[in-house]
A and B are shown apart, each in its own frame.
Chain A
Amino acid sequence: MRIDWDAYERNQLPPAEMAEVKAALKADPDLRAEYRAFQSFKNDVRASVKTEPVPMERLRYELQTVARPSADPHQIRRWGVVFVAGAALLVAMVARQQFDNDPLRFAKSPEVEQLAPRTEDDAWRWLRKEAGYSDVTPVQFKTPGLKFSLVRKGEDWACMDYILDGDTVRLYMKKDETALRNVAFQSVGNRYLYIGNGIGWRTGGFVFAMQGTSNEKLLNLLRQAS
């Protein structure tokens, strides 16, 4: 049986053939091994390219240089637009002030590097050996369905991105003695946590923050983490 695994994975086989392949996969261990070989090869190819660092800071600078000398040349400038923009700016400034005061907002400097290593362990290894976070203790999540995505680094922060139920869950960390100093912690299980726009805690000279989904889901993730 010659199967187009690509079409199968992309759900592009005709329904009858799709059902046939599913049944064959259940019944035939050799076919399952062939499918795994296909997936493994594709994952390796993807990881081989995505593990190379991307110089985000320089690329973003290039983009700004290209895009900012003048506004979009085809944009129609209208007084109405200017007025709406002014009002939006005012609202944004108020929102920004609140945003800046958020004690869990760690990524205040631009992202400088990002990697998509093959595994979460590789990401922690990179953080500890290459990115200057040698003494950070990895947070090991054990929640089924939580999928590691990539690791990013800013000037004074790092972040592991995960996917949970379609949401991107972010675990920020930074070495900062002053962060999360003047906030009220709650005792949850065996941890002291700050619960606000996400969840934060301090440990081993580092501060951590988790954001990206409901606090309830974040707490569940943390309960099952070591």
Chain B
Amino acid sequence: MFNFLRPNFESSIRRELPMLYRVARRLTSCSEDAEDLVSQTLVSAFRGWHTFDGKYLRSWLVKILRNERGALVGEKNLMAEIEDLAEHPDDKPTWEVVATKFELEDIRREIDQLPFHFKMPVLLCDVEQMSYEEASQALEIPIGTVRSRLNRGRNQLKRKLSQWTREEVRP
């Protein structure tokens, strides 16, 4: 009855465009593909705006973006991305003191290499600073799984970067 009181689609989404693009960019190989993915996401979001419950807009958008990416990549490729997600020592966070300051471009490259299931929690929680609750809604997984995948993603990232740094300084 009071649909006219719903938040305006355009102004609500406009604020989230940078976040959507950054996530899309890390899931695609070039900026043109990222723009296409954002564009598809916007079309679906507009069509489904009436289904948005007014809570966690960013999660809702990322959920749509994930689905759109699934449509673009194809289910077969998505299945190939699913690794062994059982309990793993990486689930526990470790923070040894590392004196190395990594180059931003190297970090970005290694984020791109992370498996999808670890990349998403890193992007949503560490880059976009979403709460576990928001990330859990966006990825449709329990909060505990968000935390364990986040730790595994970070640990993989640290390991790759440390390896990379060691290789670089090797004589």
- Chain A interface residues (CB < 8 Å from chain B): 2, 4-6, 10, 30, 33-38, 40-42, 44-52, 54-56, 58-60, 62-64, 66-68, 72-76, 78, 81, 114, 118
Contacts and interface: CB of A to CB of B under 8 A. Distances in A.
A37 B161 CA distance: 14
Contacts of A38: 93, 95
Contacts of B4: 75-76, 78, 81
A138 B26 CA distance: 32
Given A45-B154, A73-B50, 19 more contacts: A44-B104, A45-B111, A45-B122, A45-B157, A47-B104, A48-B107, A48-B108, A52-B108, A54-B18, A56-B18, A59-B38, A63-B17, A66-B39, A66-B46, A72-B6, A72-B8, A75-B4, A75-B6, A76-B4
B42 interface: yes
Interface string B69-99: 0000000000000000000000011011110
B100 to A, nearest CB: 10
Contact of A45 (B93, B107, B147): B107
Contact of A2 (B92, B98, B108): B92
B105 A48 contact: yes
Interface of B: 1, 3-4, 6, 8-10, 13-14, 17-18, 20-22, 25-26, 31, 35, 38-39, 42-43, 46, 49-50, 92-93, 95-98, 101-102, 104-105, 107-108, 111, 122-123, 125-127, 129, 131-132, 147, 150, 154, 157-158
A60 B17 contact: yes
A41 B93 CA distance: 13
Chain A binding site: helix, strand, loop or mixed by DSSP? Answer: helix
Nearest to B18: A54
B147 to A, nearest CB: 7
Contacts, number: 119
Contact of B22 (A4, A10, A42, A54): A54
Contacts of A72: 3, 6, 8-9, 49
